[in-house]
A and B are shown apart, each in its own frame.
Chain A
Amino acid sequence: MINALKAVIWKDIIMEYKTKQMTSSMLVFSGLVIVIFGFAFELSIEVLHKVLPGMIWVAMIFSSILGLNRSFMLEKNNDCMQGMLLLPCDRTIIFLGKFCANFLFVLLTQIIIVPGFFVFFDYRFQGGLGLLVLILLVGTIGFIAIGTFLAALASNSRMSDMLLPIILFPITVPLIIAGVQSTSLIFQGQGFDAISQWFYLMLVFDVIFLVIPYMLFDYVMEV
């Protein structure tokens, strides 16, 4: 089972390494988000203090939609999905593998883009760096978990790139609220106590939306 999981993740990583489609488009898109926000708002330091947390999350969410859409559409070419379904193991492995791979790619983009926000807006970050990393990690896990699942669901339709944002955004509302709120608390220099409530909410969201897709993935992947 572990081997199968490794194989699925490795396949995605190799494919990404050769084509660099997902990460490059996500990176370029997030960069453009920075540019557009730079023009869209008159950003003084006080305003920045308030809107930067939201901007980071918006960039993360919209750019990962691009990646999530690709992740299952890719398998449509040459009927690759058929091949994956023939894996001699539980089908939820496909979900877990795809989830890990997507998470890795989004993480990669974030490692470059979040400092990018600080650099381009000349923002001196003074909160706890560890906390910021923790919150971004937990938030991304939840978003990618339900995102991967719904991407698999939407990939059955020909208009999946339109369908995915519409079905994904309402479901992830709690995560977005919790993420933006806790990030903005961290930016104000608050400690873990202040964000613990949001942190636990995100944790609960993560657990629920890792377990439920795990249970329902078989139904999505049926032929």
Chain B
Amino acid sequence: MNQNYLLGKRHNILGWTTFFLVCISLYMIFIVTPTDVRLGIVQKIFYFHVASAWNAFFAFFIVFLTSIMYLVKRDRKYDVIAVASAEIGVIFTTIVLTTGPIWGRSSWNAWWVWEPRLTTTLILWFIYIAYIMIRMSDMEWEKKSRLSAVFGIIGFIDVPIVFMAIRWWNTKLHPVVFGEGTDQTGGGLDTIMLYTLILSVFTFTALYFYLLQKGIAIGNMRNKVDEIKDNFKNAI
């Protein structure tokens, strides 16, 4: 009987590390880094935006990997990881999609632009919402795990094609308005800003793993409860 629905000492250590990392990042973001000359205080959202975007992609990549592993190995633990990761990924994508327009409103003067990166993120969000819909449908767990693993693979493969299509569509419609740099502010980043960005990405990754551990524990607990319920039913 596996006991991994209990969170161990390692989880606590990771939790505290994340906590301190978050504190340092917040200090770096709001106190140490200078305010952007052109964009002002709104630019601070950038650190959260980029970090969550990176994490969302990372989370979906984990879904892709664990989906393949599940189909090959048929071990339920991969399925639990995939679900937890997909849920966290959707949350991070939601953060990206809410911070994006706030930032965009002040820097581009538009809430939303049908630009490749934005639109791809939106489609990504829909794909993984669909993934969670499959998880929530009424099937036995074996079927559900299998089918959502299949969808997890297809969804991830689709993302680059979506990006290409939107990119071409976009350039056909109107010229590229924004800089091609990673931050889209057009110019380079200040060194301290870059360090803060790297730190915040790292912090969010730690947060991802912390949440993932929690998610896995909850998933295992859920499975355990189902198992007990089944035993109980059979006993009666």
Query: How many whole Å from B137's CB to the nearest CB in chain A?
Result: 4
Query: How many whole Å from A144's CB to the nearest CB in chain B?
Result: 15
- A174 & B161 in contact (Cβ 8 Å cutoff): yes
A175 to B162, CA, bound (A): 9
User: Considering residues B139, B150, B153, which has the most beta carbons from chain A within 10 angstroms of its beta carbon?
Assistant: B150
A157 to B138, CA, bound (A): 6
- A216 & B154 in contact (Cβ 8 Å cutoff): yes
**Chain B residues within 8 Å of chain A by Cβ, number:** 30
- B133 & A167 in contact (Cβ 8 Å cutoff): yes
Q: Which residue of B lies closest to A176 (CB)?
A: B165
A166 at the interface (CB under 8 A from B): yes
B134 at the interface (CB under 8 A from A): yes
The range of chain A's interface size is 20 to 34
- A216 & B153 in contact (Cβ 8 Å cutoff): yes
Q: Is the interface of B mostly helix, strand, loop or mixed?
A: helix
B166 at the interface (CB under 8 A from A): yes
User: When each residue 150-176 of chain A gets 1 if its CB lies under 8 Å from chain B and 0 otherwise, what string results?
Assistant: 100100111100010011011101110
Query: How many whole Å from B116's CB to the nearest CB in chain A?
Result: 11
Q: Which residue of A lies closest to B142 (CB)?
A: A222
Q: Which residue of B lies closest to A172 (CB)?
A: B158
User: When each residue 143-170 of chain B gets 1 if its CB lies under 8 Å from chain A and 0 otherwise, what string results?
Assistant: 1001101110111011001101110110
Residues of A within 8 A of B (CB): 146, 149-150, 153, 156-159, 163, 166-167, 169-171, 173-175, 177-178, 181, 197-198, 201, 204-205, 208-209, 212, 216, 219-220, 222
> What are 10 A-B contacts with C-beta separation under 8 Å?
A156-B139, A156-B143, A157-B134, A158-B138, A173-B165, A174-B164, A174-B166, A175-B165, A201-B165, A219-B150
Task: List the 9 closest A-B pairs by CB distance, nearest first.
Answer: A174-B165, A157-B137, A170-B126, A167-B130, A170-B127, A177-B165, A174-B161, A177-B169, A216-B150
